[in-house]
Amino acid sequence: MSQNALVNLDLTQLPSTQIGSDEAYTELSKGGDFLSYVKLCTNDKYTKTGKILPGHWGIPDAGDEIIDLGDSIDVLPLARRPKALDSSDKSAIVISYDEQSPAFKRIAAKSMEPNSGCQHGISFLVVERSTGQFLEIYFGTKSSRPEAKKIFPYLPLSQADIERKAAAGADVQDLVPHGPIPVTLKVRLAENKKGMWHCPMVVKCSAPFAKIPPTTAIVREINRFLSAKSGGVEKVEEPVGHKGRAR
């Protein structure tokens, strides 16, 4: 059969082409227990090679590819954790999730030095609207850390959270339990004597999420995200071509 003949066939009435749910195939197609991440690109290898425009959000993919999400994304924040990242040695990236540990404090102090390859701040687990993926977003730079606190009110709030805040002396009179609330991450341009760069900007999302992962999947990902520390520090060697980061 020629290619032209195949094009002219009506194949719209084929029977179901799969067994099981779409969610099952998404889970089975994962390369491993890795959490992909979304980043704001401003002056990095992706913008320099023309893979994405400066000031756009993107999900790094296999090799040097990146999925361009545009200059504004909607996310559903699910959980948060402290994070210090030392990527000065690309073959052994050091991560600490324990802000009281010597490793975290060392990385945080070193991050104040220019071009140190170190960052510290807050890491969030989110669901991104357009892809439906669980992703990490990291506010680890000096200009992004102040914006991270604007996400806090949109995180899920349980009765246990309220009681913990009350025990710590916080005013909880107006607090009631709620689930995650969508936020929009936009971009602003910052400038100083050294140059210009893009920074995240958190604003309230104007549209509710119509489709989110099942509750069982959300609980599983939150538990993985918050239990990713083993002694607070891990050394990560990212395989060539892998599109995620070790949890």
Give the whole-number percent of the chain exceeding pLDDT 90.
Answer: 56
Residue 185 backbone phi and psi in degrees, to 5: -105, 115
Indicate whether 190 pLDDT > 50: yes
Q: What is the pTM of this model?
A: 0.81
Who wins on pLDDT, 191 or 168? Answer: 168
pLDDT grade, residue 241 (50/70/90)? very low
The pLDDT of residue 7: 55
Per the document, the length of the chain is: 247
The pLDDT of residue 236: 57
Any domain includes 100: yes
pLDDT digits (tens, 9 = 90+) for 56-100: 999 998 778 999 999 999 999 999 999 999 988 877 888 999 999
Helix (H) or strand (E) holding 196: strand 195-204
Domain span at 117: 34-158+179-246
Query: Can you tell me the distance from the alpha carbon of 131 to that of 213, in angstroms, rounded to the nearest whole number?
Result: 11
Query: Can you tell me the distance from the alpha carbon of 156 to that of 77, in angstroms, rounded to the nearest whole number?
Result: 8
Query: Can you tell me the distance from the alpha carbon of 93 to that of 147, in angstroms, rounded to the nearest whole number?
Result: 25
Any domain includes 115: yes
Question: Of 5-19, 24-38, 193-207, which has the strongest mean pLDDT?
Answer: 193-207
Indicate whether 4 pLDDT > 70: no
Placement of tokens 């060539």 in the chain = 240
Which of helix, strand or coil describes residue 170?
A: coil
CA pseudo-torsion sign 98, 239, 143, 126: negative
Any domain includes 169: no
Any domain includes 111: yes
Any domain includes 236: yes
pLDDT digits (tens, 9 = 90+) for 22-61: 666 666 565 556 789 999 998 888 988 899 999 999 999 8
Counting the structural domains of the chain, the total is 1
Any domain includes 104: yes
